[in-house]
Amino acid sequence: MAKSPKSALVIVGDGVEEMEAVAPIDLLRRAGVTVTVASITKHRLVTGRNGIAIQADRLMEDVSDPFDAIIIPGGPGIKEVRAESKVIELLKEQARAGRLIAAICAAPTVLLDAGLLDGRRYTAHFGVADELPDIMEDAPVVIDGNIVTSRGAGTALDFGLTLVELLCSDSTADEVASSICVPEQV
């Protein structure tokens, strides 16, 4: 019997940082992960912080299945994501099940709201340092158990490839990186 592919939920809304959403979506799909993009708005079409439209697969209100990973990109729209009780409950359930949770830029504040950062190592964008004073500023990506965090748009590629590695394998992440001409690390 063939192994079913891994699955990931990416939560987006108006004001999402486009690179932080699209880079992981793209890299995970290249790796064969089934990615569902869910909009927290009442529309499947959301507008990112730089005016780029992103078409979600579903509305957040229609999401119920479990996913191997839940990924939250940042951007100024994170305020609306933080206000979504369904997102907080999904994150808590994901944590209880020991499944992967990933957040980039300002999105680790959502993990804070869900009570998932206590005693954890994490990073985030410097713009949220007042709420997250223990940001690991020198790390582009931090993995602590089932929690993965990253700094911002400039680390979106590292973030996405880390998720491929964790959901698939090191070799799959290497293949995806090679296919898009990511320079090898020395």
Mark whether 105 is an active-site residue: yes
Catalytic pick from 16, 63, 105, 111?
105
- Residue carrying the six token digits 């929690």: 147
Backbone phi and psi for residue 59, each to the nearest 5 degrees, phi listed first: -85, 145
Query: DSSP H helical segments within the chain, as ranges?
Result: 18-30, 78-82, 85-96, 108-113, 156-167, 170-179
By three-state DSSP, how is residue 164 classified?
Answer: helix
CA distances (Å), 134 to each of 54, 58, 129, 137, in order?
32, 34, 8, 9
Active site residues: 105
